[in-house]
Amino acid sequence: MNCKKFSFRRFWTTSIALLVLALPGAFAQNKMTVTGVVTDELGEPMIGAGVLVKNTVTGVITGLDGDYSITIDAAGGGGILVFSTLGYDDVEIPVNGRTKIDVQMQPQSTALDEVVVVGYGVQKRESVVGAISTVDASNLRVPSAQLSTGLAGQLSGVVSMNRSGEPGKGSSADFYIRGVSSFQGTVTPLVLVDGIERDINLVDTDDIESFSILKDASASAVYGVRGANGVIIITTKKGQEGRPKINFRSETGITSPTQLPKFVNASQFAEMANEAYFGAYGTYPYDEEALAHYRNGDDPDLYPDVDWMKSLYKDAAFNQRINISVNGGTEVVKYFISGSYFTESSIFRKSDQYDYNSSIKYDKFNFRANVDINVTPSTVLSVNMANIYEIRFAPGTETSQIWYRAFRTSPNAFPVVYSDGTLSAPSVSGEQNPYNLLVHSGYREQFWNSAQSLIGLKQDFGAIWDPLQGLTASIKFSWDATSSQVQVRSKTARQFHASGRDDEGHLIFGNPIYEGSETLSFSSSASSYLVTYMEGSINYSRLFGKHRVGGLFLYNHKIRRNTYGSNSTNSIPYKNQGIAARVTYAYKDRYFAEFNMGYNGSENFAPGHRFGFFPAVSIGWLMSEEPWWAHVKDYVNMVKWKGSYGKVGNDQISGTRWLYLSTIIGGNSFVMGKTGSDGGSGLVTGRPENLNFSWEEETKLNLGVEFELFRELRVQADYFNSHRTGILMQRSGLPSYAGLQNSSKLPYVNVGETLNSGVDLSLDWHKQVGDWFFTARGNFTYNRNKLVNNDEPDWEYKYQNRIGKPYGVGGSQPWGLLAVGLFQSEEEIANSPVQTFGQYRVGDIKYQDINGDGIIDSNDQIYLGYTTLPEITYGFGVTAAYKGFDINLFFQGVANVNFFINGNSLRQVFAATDTFEMSALQQDRYYRGWSVNKTAEENAQAIYPRLSWSGNAGYHNNTQTSSWWQRNGAFLRLKNAEIGYSLPKKLLAQTGFIQGVRVYVAASNALTFSEFKLWDVETGSGDGSTYPNNRVISFGINANF
Amino acid sequence: MKKFITIFLAVGTLAVTSCDSFLNRQEDEQMTFEKIWQQRTYTQQAFNNCMGYLPVDGNLLTQAGSTYLAATDEATLFSETSGFNNIIRGSMGPSTMPHNLLSSWYEGVRDCTTFLKYVYTCSDPNALQSDKDRWYWGVRFTRAYLYFLMMREWGPVFLLGDDLIDFTATTEQLYRPRNTWEECVKYVVDEMTVCSENLPDTWDDGYLGMPTRGAAMAVIARLKLYSARPLFNGNTLYRAVRNPDGTPLFPLNPDPQKWVEAAQANMAVIQTGVYQLYKDTEHNNDPYYNYSGIFKENWNSEVIFCSGGYRSNATFISNTSPTSLLKGSYNGSGQWGPTQQQVDAYAMANGRYPITGYESDGTPKVDVASGYPAPANEFNITSVANPYLKALEVSSSDYTSSSPLMYKDREPRFYVNVYYPGSYFKCASLGGVANFAIDGSGRGQFYPRSGYMVNKYYDHSRNYYQNGSSNNITFPTFRLGEIYLNYIEAVLECEINGVGGTNVDLNTAMTLWKELRARSGMGPITDAYPDATTPEALLELLRRERRVELAHEGHRYFDTRTWMIAPEVDGGPMYGLNVVNVKSETPAAVPADGWARYAYERRTFKNSYYLLPFPQREVDRNKLMTQNYGW
């Protein structure tokens, strides 16, 4: 776990050194000259390190070879030289009359004054008693437009899954802190960028100064009613005093799907269709002649054999990122300015027929300027501005529709396009040719523009009047605007279906299936938000002898306006308001106690019930600072125990506002009158008024330990137990006769209850062996939640109680029948319990009679496996560096996760009964399915049941949700592998302005280990019909000036 | 500093104390409950919502209604997944309900109760007293009618009166036992009685479809009939169905007096004098037009109540259109077919019922006197004229077909109700011959599994799909014909049980019966069966009459249950033509081996199936609730 380090002490010493250098000349009196070379931990010369005579203003900086030459006052042996540079420990060496002093500097170790970003502030690392994970932002760098895709496996406590790799917005990942704890309300964490709630995916990785997640009550209580799902705090880089430093990075990547499903060819399809249809109706739809055509492929117009995956999707696409930033400043003004460009293309094919390229293309421009101005020596005015501009170009048809059709169209339905160039269509309208949807449906342009502005003023009162030392106050105001627009120019192409050939062998098309149009029609839509936020706070921090005290008091409010609302409800401003406070106390910087609280309100509740008080207490003990620890301190450098207990809330009930108010809905309409023209629509109370309800509350306990061994290995481990109560949910316990069972009427009450507990831990290790420098890091998160109360009475069969079982996102729980195999004989059917899902035969799925009543029905459904949200998430990586080379491997994995395969190409095969054209089948079904044409031995190994025809014997029996269709979603993947080479500094120094250059090759998602083989396992449930996750090979260069 | 902090705290506190208003919803003058009662339009909309709980019987084939039509021996629907399959396959259970309208109907009860409580507070001067009265009594009828609907499915339910259940009460606080059958009957009868006293005999055109005095009385009439029948009148199976405190939910012993009440309640409807049997004078009282017109002539004189009002008959039409003839965009999905048993149930033109029963192998027992062929010959192909088609002015070459002897010379209602394959299907210009064998012209994704199709709702003078739309039906939820049958049954039962009273008169009953049959071109039953002199024998014939007259109108499902004959008729093999496995060589022809009695499915009826189970989740939620018998 690399915490982004920031040292005040180092900052000042370096600054002073630089200031001193600005002074011309030096006074000479009994001088001596000391020379030497300063090298880094790898022995590379260190350019620009400061060399200062302690307690003087005499100093120089090292040259291109890391060499320096300083003339000092020889009196007293020459005093002490202080060598310093950012990111490294200062080295103090008494001169003792020597004229040559070489120094090797060591990277900054975990120093006491390293700080960690916490809620509404920063704390010294050693005094942090909350459960907070941080990560070095460079680890979050991924070849994708979305920061969220980089989270998986990087921070202990974060559970994250990438469900899609679609270029641009589509690829953002789901992420949760310590799993999920509510089955009703929102479960995603609060994300704050520079203190303002903002979209995580709009932050450019290169702009991140620090990334923290707040996991326990102590850390998140200040966010009160918004904090229960954990908080992610991102701060962007600030300017640092010094000459302008320019950083440039460029990266180009080749992206390709990690895995796409494979489908049967036409001849296999016909074989399977024959088998399924014969089982239902006793006849074969494809005769020998047709089968021969499919096998020979001699008539691709009337007997086509299309691999839709290959016809629609290319093997590879590309992406590119360029980032350039400037950082510098003076005593008065400091600035950080950064701009980046990211572009990404897709595997979608295009047609050369048009001037436009309908394949997906996504471009993102990021600009950020953070400026701090010291208006007075004790007053800092900060202005942060960011603008993110995104453009997406895509086919006229929604991509989800293209994927759906691609996974539905049979290989023999029609050719991609007829050999004479005529566009092909299914034989009936309503269905679609996916290729035409992709390339002949026009295009759409989407635009997003996000402007983020923040202005802050911070006053240090201590600098004005000494008794107020430690007291600061600040005011922050931010206004963010986002807008997005879609412009669609689409059409349906003129399409035909060939019914045969005339005497001359020409295809007979008849009337077009789609008359189509030759012009693109236009439509557009837009949305837009304005968010204003105001925060005022006072901070206090002071050391009185052995007592260190601190305090925070803060008020904030936020108004989010949907300025282009789509309905009367979401166009009304969303408001939040609250105060937060913190008191910290440390004795001898060894014993810590902290009290945090949030008091804030939500519009969702009735006046008088809107504000909640969320307190948390925590204590910590830095055991290694005890005097009696001294004798082992060389081995166990640091040990800290900590614990916290407190309460946080969650007022976010997805989609519903002002829950306390009753709703008035349309209800039923009534028809009367001689010709039914009288009567009309209805009006009725929907959800009844309830002034009493309130937010969800979560009581969180966290116990943790941190320790460091041999100055090499640092471990942080936490146990947590979160009890969420008062989950606001619609009642389940009301009897029908109350007359409120309809979901639009069912009242909400605070009744749900869950328990979520687990552990998360992280470790960091670094070691130097000769010229080799190694680091390793790893983290592990395990959580299991349990439904404690959802207002449901016991089920008739207690094993069907949802209570007591884990749940996934949105409260989903995997329920279904327990499959025990496929019926292998008529005798087996006769001797087994009766299954009540339509007729069934040999080769169909056999289920377990859980209640033993001889009948398999919904009473035999049980909790199956795990949810789609993994219980275990882990990541680990190693870095090795030798001379200029470095190699970096990072693995990420999940376990205890299941999902159901589903869809027309796998489970509900031959569901489209009217036509054989919309019955695509995945290849796995062909090779591993039960078949009348296979031997008993082969069938005993089958993992798919007998092929059945929609609505006929076996169909409903086999498509029940059951363990038969459940798959293990665990995987381990090589998330990132990177080899880099840094050009020798000596060489670069000759250019005079280049400070460092590193070139690298990286592979992301290079390898995946999973027992699931059909498609990218991380995308999960269904039939794989989404844009797959990408494997990316990137080439990059990073240069500093 | 102190000052500063004080100010800061003061500002902060001030800000926070005023936050309640900061968080207020921006005023957007949304609809509120109070506003409903301030403007006539809104109040009327609230009324519409309540009335909208009345089932739309013009859509009887969908969802719940399909159970009444297909989960009994009169018909079949092709649908692997529809809920009624759970009943006929014997897989119904408290957790696998074919349909559960309990919660939706109680939702209606709640909305109605709320409406009744507030309707007279409507402060809009434009809302006249007469408006409020009309709204009030319409909704009050609806609430009682919902109870009636629940009672025929579940038996005794929970009577709430004017209570609005407190939704904040815990699950335990809401434990409640069921009311008894007698209490439920009394409640509905009392409610309907007071409704009948306040509702008019008829409505102006704009209000047609609103309940009338007759409608309220007809509900009482049918409910009292059901209540007198064996299922609810001392059924020994139900003796042990009691509330936790021991109260029996069903009457322990039969009470013949209930037949008297039933007879009187039905006679009361007749005596309103508002309704007449439908007769088509334009077609000179032609029996075919007389009978089929009940479902085609909207708002005809026989309709007492049409639940759901004037509605599209699209579902009736599409489900009784052969897929082959009305394919593609015409969208026929003819899947609703009478069973062979139902086909057998029609009398011959001479009034005698040809089939008196079945051998164990399904061979019919034939009444020779009826003129029906011997079982071995019933499928002999002969020239069969379809008089209904003739009446519809189909050319003679089309209304005559080579068809089995079985279909020759049957009573008029047979031809109106049954489409038999091989016969011409008239559908304006799209007519043709359909059969339902595999690869035959009638077999599409949907087909009637029995090989017959229900015919009565199809208006053969129209081609709905070519015209682009279906037309409308005022489905006779209650019609005078049914009331006649109810009355005759009740009177015969009184005779059998030796009870009587005002308006319980056998002669009147026999006269009404005669009128009913005459309407469909049939002589009095006693002409065909001169030896049927005992009330028992007449009751048997009356039940056959009822089956034929009310075929496919949603009665048979409840009749077989309340008569408790369901185990014999609703269980066991269902017969039809052999269309399931037979392949037709030429499209229009019915293959020879298709003409055979073929058991296309075997159904299950268990004693527990007389009433639906309460959903298991209800039983789980309400520990004082007694589940129905056998569940």
pLDDT digits (tens, 9 = 90+) for A650-686: 887 756 788 888 889 999 999 999 999 998 999 999 9
Chain A environment of B625 (Cβ under 8 Å): 735
- Pairwise CA distance, residues A994 & A247, whole Å: 10
Position A670 scores a pLDDT of 95
Does pLDDT of A44 surpass 80? no
CA–CA dist B66, B316 (Å, integer): 11
Q: What is the pLDDT of residues A317-349, one digit of tens each?
A: 999 999 999 999 998 999 999 999 999 999 999
Q: What percent of chain B has pLDDT over 70?
A: 92
Q: Rg for chain B (alpha carbons), in Å?
A: 28
User: What pLDDT score does B586 carry?
Assistant: 64
pLDDT at B470: 67
> What is the distance in angstroms between the Cα of A665 and the nearest Cα belonging to chain B?
9
Contact (CB<8Å) B80/A611:
no
Put simply, the chain A residues between 749 and 788 with a CB less than 8 A from any chain B CB are: 749
Which chain B residue has its CA at the smallest distance from A795's CA?
Answer: B620
Q: How confident is the model at residue B551 (pLDDT cuts 50, 70, 90)?
A: very high
B313-355: per-residue pLDDT in tens? Answer: 888 888 888 877 766 555 678 889 999 999 999 999 999 999 9
How far is the alpha carbon of B130 from chain A, nearest alpha carbon, in Å? 16
Lowest mean pLDDT among A946-955, A968-977, B241-250: A946-955
Mean pLDDT throughout A978-985? 90
User: CA of A682 to nearest chain B CA: how many angstroms apart?
Assistant: 4
B-chain residue closest to A860, CA distance: B95
Most confident of A33-37, A408-412, B457-461: A408-412
DSSP letters along A805-841, please? Answer: S---GGG---EEB-EEEE--SHHHHHTSPEE-SS---
Task: Check A858 against B12: CB less than 8 A apart.
Answer: no
Q: Which of residues 408-437 of A touch B (CB under 8 A)?
A: none
ipTM attached to this prediction:
0.90
The C-alpha of B19 sits at a distance from chain A's nearest C-alpha, in angstroms, of 7
pLDDT reported for residue A18: 42
The pLDDT-based confidence of B303 (bands split at 50, 70, 90) is very high
Residue with tokens 């009158």: A673
Residues of A in contact with B24 (CB under 8 A): 603, 607
The verdict on A799 touching B (C-beta cutoff 8 Å) is no
Q: Is the dihedral of CA B158, B162, B167, B171 positive or negative?
A: negative
Residues 6+ apart with CB under 8 A from B237: B607, B610, B629, B630
Contacts of residue B13, defined as CB under 8 A and 6 or more positions apart, other chains included, come to none
Least confident of A111-120, A558-567, A834-843: A111-120
The pLDDT-based confidence of A11 (bands split at 50, 70, 90) is: very low
DSSP A724-779: EEEEEEE-SS--GGGS--STTTPPEEEEEEEEEEEEEEEEEEEEEETTEEEEEEEE
Report chain A residues whose CB lies below 8 A from the CB of B51.
668, 670, 672, 679
* Strand, helix or coil for residue A281: helix
For residue A80, the model assigns a pLDDT of 85
Query: Residues 982..1021 of A with a Cβ closer than 8 Å to B: which?
Result: none
Give A461's contacts in chain B (Cβ within 8 Å).
1, 4
**Average pLDDT for residues B89-94, to the nearest whole number?**
85
User: pLDDT tens digits for A840-896?
Assistant: 999 999 999 999 999 898 889 999 999 999 999 999 999 999 988 999 999 999 999
- Gap from A428 CA to chain B (nearest CA, Å): 9
Mean pLDDT: which of A577-591, A798-812, B97-111, B215-229 is highest?
A: B215-229
- Compute the Cα dihedral for B52, B58, B64, B68 and give only its sign: positive
By C-alpha distance, which of A855, A836, A831 is closest to A956? A836
Asked if A854 is an interface residue toward chain B (Cβ–Cβ < 8 A), one would say no
Q: Can you give the pTM of this predicted structure? A: 0.80
Q: Which of A273-287, A295-309, A907-921 has the lowest mean pLDDT?
A: A907-921
Neighbours of A624 (CB within 10 A): 19
- Please name the residue ranges forming H helices in A383-488: 399-406, 434-439
B149 has pLDDT over 90: yes
Which of A281, A460, A570, A737 should we substitute to test contact with B (largest number of B Cβ atoms within 10 Å)? A737
CB of A479 within 8 Å of a chain B CB? The answer is no
Question: In the prediction, which pLDDT does B617 show?
Answer: 86
Residue B597, pLDDT score: 92
A1014 backbone dihedrals φ, ψ, rounded to 5° = -75, -40
Mean pLDDT of chain A: 88
User: Could you tell me which of A689, A668, A727 has the C-alpha nearest to residue B166?
Assistant: A689
Question: Average pLDDT of A197-216?
Answer: 91
Q: Which residue has the higher pLDDT, A707 or A18?
A: A707
Which residue of A282, A578, A684 is in closest CB contact with B46?
A: A684
- Pick the closest to residue A894 from A40, A107, A174, A215 (CA basis): A174
Note the pLDDT tens digit of each residue in B30-86. Answer: 889 999 999 999 999 999 999 999 999 988 888 778 899 999 999 999 876 678 888
At B318 the three-state DSSP class reads helix
Rounded CA-CA distance B407/B418 in Å is: 10
Tell me the pLDDT band of A20, cut-offs 50, 70 and 90.
Answer: very low
Cβ contact, residue pair B310, A674, below 8 Å: yes
Q: Does A568 touch chain B (CB under 8 A)?
A: yes
For residue A961 the two structure tokens come to 């949700």
As to burial, measured by CB atoms within 10 angstroms (0-12 exposed, 13-18 middle, 19+ buried), residue A956 is buried
**Is the separation of the CB atoms in A246 and A1028 below 8 Å?**
no
Sign (positive/negative) of CA torsion A127, A128, A130, A131?
A: negative
Give yes or no for residue A186 having a pLDDT over 90: no
| Residues pairing with A471 in the sheet | A540
Interface test with B, best of A460, A736, A837 (most B CBs within 10 A): A736
More confident residue, A453 or A653: A453
Lowest mean pLDDT among A549-553, A989-993, B346-350: A989-993
- Give pLDDT, residue A589: 87
For residue A551, list chain B residues with Cβ-Cβ distance below 8 A.
Answer: none
Mean pLDDT of A163-169: 85
Q: Give the integer Cα–Cα distance in Å for A662 and A659.
A: 7
Task: For B24-41, write each residue's pLDDT tens digit.
Answer: 888 888 889 999 999 999
Rounded to whole angstroms, what are the CA distances from A1004 to A139, A975, B108?
12, 5, 59
Tell me which residue in B9, B45, B174 faces A683 most closely, judged by beta carbons: B45
When pLDDT is averaged across residues A138-163 and rounded to a whole number, the result is: 87
| Closest CB from A681, A733, A955 relative to B621 | A733
Q: Which of B310, B327, B622, B625 should we substitute to test contact with A (largest number of A Cβ atoms within 10 Å)?
A: B310
* pLDDT at residue A28, as a whole number: 42
pLDDT of residue A62: 84
Given CB atoms, is A613 within the 8 Å cutoff of chain B? no
Best residue in B80, B142, B475 to probe A by mutation, most A CBs within 10 Å? Answer: B80
Q: Nearest CA of chain A to the CA of B330: how many Å?
A: 14
Q: Which residues contact A874 (CB under 8 A, 6 or more apart)?
A: A153, A778, A779, A780, A781, A892, A893, A894, A895
Q: Which of A44, A45, A46, A101 is nearest to A72 (CA)?
A: A101
pLDDT at A9 over 90: no
pLDDT, average across residues A112-128: 80
A731 and chain B in contact, CB less than 8 A: yes
Does A249 or B7 have the greater pLDDT score? A249
CA B373 to chain A, closest CA, distance in angstroms equals 34
- Nearest by CB: B48 against A668, A731, A857: A668
The answer to whether residue A705 scores a pLDDT higher than 60 is yes
Using CB atoms within 10 Å of the CB of residue B396, give its burial: 0 to 12 exposed, 13 to 18 middle, 19+ buried.
exposed
A661 at interface of B, judged by CB pairs closer than 8 A: yes
Closest partner residue to A680 (CB to CB) among B11, B45, B53 is: B45
pLDDT band at B495 (very low <50, low <70, confident <90, very high): very high
Q: What percent of chain A has pLDDT over 90?
A: 56
- Per-residue model confidence (pLDDT) at position A452: 95
Contact yes or no for A682 and B48 at CB 8 A: yes
pLDDT at A610: 85
Predicted local distance difference test score (pLDDT) of residue A23: 42
| Residue B199 clears pLDDT 90, i.e. is over it | yes
